[in-house]
Amino acid sequence: MSSKTVLIVDDESSIREMIAVALEMADYRVLEAENAQTGHAMALDHKPDLVLLDWMMPGTSGIELARRLKREEATAEMPIILLTAKGEEDNKIQGLEAGADDYITKPFSPRELVARLKAVLRRATPAGVEESVEVEGLKLDPASHRVTSHGSALEIGPTEYRLLQFFMTHQERAYTRSQLLDQVWGGNVYVEERTVDVHIRRLRKSLGETHQHLVQTVRGTGYRFSTRE
């Protein structure tokens, strides 16, 4: 579950700070810019998953930046949430016409912010239609989030599920513990490499006698999922 990156563009550092704290607590990566120019540059540079834009800023205004971002190919798909001071309700339509995806009126609670931000991200990321995979009667179906062995359900924990999913979509190739941590646990976590071994063990146990030969140890390297020997 790789965390998303959010770019905050606001001239008041105290506001930026508040938002940043709230977002970091909700496990988002945060970038900050204090004016439209640097904001624009950072949007191009870091490709954040979402941009939080203050309406009123010295120099180029938020809405102007919003228009610019929507106009450019590289950033057009980037969801934008506009922040505005209370009592400027009329701007709402103007803001949304500029291409903003949502519009939050100050003052707002951090929780509201996070909730609306989630909603916007949810919409912006269409659920990937993942295909189910089957190998020797072992079937993993992402839609129902189920693993079956010749039709009967297997008990399997969340991490084992992800591990198996990764393996089944990347068969016949050896991965180091480090690579598996990256791919299955998600990059920026600090976890002992030996932990992989433990989950491999648990996965094998879940797979049972029938299928555990599919998860193979590559001594000195890591593990591999393969139907061949």
- Nearer to DNA by Cβ, of 139 and 204: the residue is 204
Q: What residue 99 binds from DNA, a copy of itself, none (CB within 5 to 8 A, per partner kind)?
A: none
Residue 135 touches which of DNA, a copy of itself, none (Cβ within 5-8 Å per kind): none
Phi-psi region of 87 (alpha: psi -120 to 50; beta: other; left: phi over 0): left
**Closest separation between CB of residue 156 and a copy of itself, Å?**
10
Please pick, from the candidates 76, 124, 143, 198, the single residue that binds DNA as defined by CB under 7 A. 198
Query: Is the peptide bond preceding residue 107 cis, with omega within 30 degrees of 0?
Result: yes
Task: Report the distance separating Cα 217 and Cα 200, nearest Å.
Answer: 9
CB of 229 to a copy of itself, least distance (A): 5
Which span (8-16, 47-55, 83-91, 152-160) binds DNA, by CB under 7 A? 152-160
What are the distances in angstroms from CA 30 to CA 18, 23, 85, 222? 12, 7, 22, 34
**Residues forming the site for a copy of itself (CB under 8 A):** 18, 86, 89-90, 92-93, 96-97, 101-103, 106-107, 109-112, 115-116, 118-120, 122-123, 127, 143-146, 153, 157-158, 161, 172-174, 178-179, 182, 187-192, 218-221, 224, 226, 228-229
Binds 209, which of a copy of itself, DNA, none (CB < 5 to 8 A, cut-off by type)?
none
The residues near 174 (Cβ < 8 Å, ≥ 6 apart) are 218, 221, 222, 223, 224
Q: Give Cα separations from 127 to 22, 76, 130 (angstroms).
A: 26, 19, 9
Q: Does 70 bind DNA (CB under 7 A)?
A: no
Residue 165 contacts residue 140 (beta carbons within 8 Å): yes
> Considering CB under 7 A, how many residues would be counted as binding DNA?
24
Nearer CB in complex with DNA: 74/218: 218
Is the separation of the CB atoms in 19 and 110 below 8 Å?
Answer: yes
Taking the complex as a whole, how short is the minimal distance between the CB of residue 44 and DNA, in angstroms? 31
In angstroms, what is the minimal distance from the CB of 37 to a copy of itself? 26
Q: In angstroms, rounded to a whole number, what is the distance separating the alpha carbons of residues 80 and 36?
A: 14
Distance CA(211)–CA(151), nearest Å, equals: 14
Nearest of 201, 44, 26 to residue 9 by alpha carbon: 44
Asked if 197 interacts with DNA (CB under 7 A), we say yes
Q: Which residues here bind DNA, judged by CB under 7 A? A: 157-160, 185, 189-192, 194-195, 197-202, 204, 217-222
